[in-house]
Amino acid sequence: MTDQDNQEPEVISADEQVEDKGTGTGLVLPEHALPDKLYLIPVSNRPFFPAQVQPLVFNSQEWEETLQRVAQSPHKVVGLSYAAGITGADHEVSPEDFPEMGCTVKIHNILAEGDQIQFIALGMQRFRIKQWLRKRPPYLVQVEYPDNIENDTDEIKAYALALIQAIKELIPLNPLYSEELKNYLNRFSPKDPSPLADFAAAITTARGQELQEVLETLSVQRRMEKVLILIRKEQEVARLQGEINAEVNRKISKHQREFFLKEQLKIIQKELGISKDDRTAEIEAFEKRIAELDIPETPLKKINDEMKKLSILEMGSPEYAVCRNFLDWATSVPWGRYSEDIFDLAHARKVLNSDHDGLEDVKDRIIEFLAVGAYKQEISGTIMLLAGPPGVGKTSIGRSVARALGRKFYRFSLGGMRDEAEIKGHRRTYIGAMPGKLVQALKEVDVANPVIMLDEIDKIGASYRGDPASAMLEVLDPEQNSEFLDHYLDMRIDLSKVLFISTANQLDTIPGPLLDRMDVIRLSGYITEEKMAIAKNHLWPKLLKQSGLKKSQIRFSDATLKAVIEGYAREAGVRHLEKLLQKIIRKVVVQLLEGSKESHSVTIRNLSDYLGAPYFRKEKRIEGIGVVTGLAWTAMGGATLPVEASLIHHQRAGFKLTGKLGDVMKESAEIAYSFVSSQAEKLGIPEAYFDKAFIHLHVPEGATPKDGPSAGITMATALLSLATNTKPAPIAMTGELTLTGKVLAVGGVREKVIAAKRQGIHTLIIPEECRRDYDELPDYIRKGMTIHFASIFEDVCKAALPVKTSPVKKTIRKTARKKPATKP
């Protein structure tokens, strides 16, 4: 910056500022009376045009001095220059930020308010900066005023007419342009092309750089070409904006029209007396529900009190919504509304047989229950619990019972439930409160005596929200559920006519008080013949229907089905079997779509192409000295459990256990070892055998946890077989052993018998006290089985070991039978 740049400019007189532009007389037109030295103010959003009139606002702290000097000058003209680089009020503008071309404006009506200065700017003429006289605010430059390059040609006139037409087309699309056009027509002639082009550019919303290019174009024809392109773009934007606004207004207008029509209709109907307001309509709807129900006196009094409260509350108040929701639920409970039961045992047996194959003992138990209800013409008082492995048909039995009785059916799962409010309901003290599942069930079925299935009752959890299992005590107690209290309704509801059927995989996790209130019906696993019947009569037809296949399109023999069951689906239930059959059908459908054959056969030979290699192979039973097959119960059904005893060395006495055994099985093993070693002489074991023998007892498979009180005699027999060097007979056994040699009863007899039969073992040893459980088994399960009942360990020895080890001294029998076993 030179010294000249830093000097303050001299005060310029009016005579010096106004130059004679060509006449030499000193008299010029007003629009030509422009100074050759201008103060500059930058604008950041868009350039200012000569044909433009617009109010402008500037920061007083930065530009007050500049505007004061301009206001004190006789011409009151300032230069506006587009500076695109300005980002904020504190941005320091340098001369490099100013373009060469700008616009002179005349300021009118300067008004200072707070930290802002506002004035009306009247655009006059373009200027070009020749020299910078001051490079810091207030900026001062020496300028020249370039002339428009304009020719009076037909092409210029054509562009002018095109511009006017484009502006006229823009006005209907955006009414804001109409006022601008009126102002222009009042001030300019349509035959003046230069102001027309500037005006047209000023009313567009083009980017600042595009408008600066228009401002710097001196050729009127080139300027009009650029402006015409900008106007066409503006038309497209305005047209698109108009379509969007029209669509929005159409939707809003439709809703407004419907709202006004509905409100008018309400008022007309109210005036004519043929309609009521919302409050009256709701109260009448509740009164109609109450008239159709047989509500006891105490709940009815509470409902009437809430109805009175509803009639005086304001509809917009939160309490009104709470009161209305309560009445909606309270009048949705089917008070005194019952469906008629079908007390026809033949019909019930037909329904159960058509829905399920096998499970004869379970069907008989249900028929007995229905017979009692038919005799007294009322089903109540008993809560059934169907306990068994997954996939054996517990839930479907509940549906069959409902169908046999002609009752509505509702099911909800208790698995994972941790909030007792799910059962008893939430209290009406917070937003979102709702009744419990039982009230919701009654509302959905709309009768007070449905069949409600409580699925997975053994998987209820407890948390800080409460204990749902404890809440179920009131529900499942026939002595209490006639006055079940829901916290939301806070009214007593009679659940005694509801038939509750629960399901569980195991009983160990059900709390004792809850289990005591239910009548347990055990469902064991299916044997191969039962699975084949279920697959042929139920699973296969259902899957064919779901896939859209015809029976003729896929041939599936009984031998193939048996191979699927024995090689791939040995679990207790039939759910996995159903998935395997689905897999076969999917692969057949793919073959039908890709091949030319209209039918396919699934045989034993190509079964592995559909299901892969079999999961289970016909394994040879583990046999040998010290190896005995036991029977175990699991949540998935019964299973065989081999026990192996092996002599490690004779260096020192010892006993080692492996096989991931639980505490109960470890105790059984220790009892068996103690009994056999203490009775060694009487059992025919060589003298001092256990004094030096280190014995290892193993229960395969080691990765599977095993526990339960039913392996005592199995382990004792394995130890005896090892000590006497005798190979056991091909037999399986279950039972617990005491230190005196008594064989105790165990559970899960049905599951264990089925597991042995499934593995091809037909000779079993069962505790004498379990004879009754075995006698209650269906004939088709007991068929082909040989059972030895044992009350003392001598009975086990006689059945499991050859004759040479079975003669035990009579003192053993006398010692063990001091308290004879009780026979049923």
Active-site residues: which are they? 710, 752
Specify the length of the chain in residues: 824
Helix (H) or strand (E) run with residue 123 in it: strand 116-134
Instruction: Round to whole Å and give the CA distance between 666 and 76.
Output: 109
Longest dimension (CA), the chain: 158
Collapsing DSSP states into helix, strand and coil, what is residue 595?
Answer: coil
Helix (H) or strand (E) run with residue 346 in it: helix 345-355
């013409």: which residue's tokens? 377
User: Between β-strands 77-82 and 37-43, what pairing exists: parallel, antiparallel or unpaired?
Assistant: parallel
| C-beta contacts of 586-593 below 8 A and 24+ residues apart | 586/547, 588/549, 588/553, 588/554, 589/547, 589/549, 592/553
3-state secondary structure 211-262: HHHHHHCCEHHHHHHHHHHHHHHHHHHHHHHHHHHHHHHHHHHHHHHHHHHH
Closest CA to 519 of 502, 506, 505: 502
CA gyration radius for the chain? 50
Residue 43 tokens, joined: 């604008």
Collapsing DSSP states into helix, strand and coil, what is residue 682?
Answer: coil
Instruction: Round to whole Å and give the CA distance between 498 and 485.
Output: 15
Contacts (Cβ under 8 Å, ≥6 apart) of 674: 739
Collapsing DSSP states into helix, strand and coil, what is residue 685?
Answer: coil
Residue 566: count of CB within 10 angstroms of its CB? 16
Closest CA to 720 of 624, 626, 623: 626
Collapsing DSSP states into helix, strand and coil, what is residue 686?
Answer: coil
Beta bridge partners of 696: 646, 656
By CB atoms closer than 10 A (0-12, 13-18, 19+), residue 641 is buried
Residue 397 tokens, joined: 């039995």
Closest CA to 534 of 396, 332, 686: 396
By CB atoms closer than 10 A (0-12, 13-18, 19+), residue 320 is middle
Instruction: Round to whole Å and give the CA distance between 392 and 750.
Output: 14
User: Between β-strands 637-649 and 519-522, what pairing exists: parallel, antiparallel or unpaired?
Assistant: unpaired
């008022």: which residue's tokens? 267
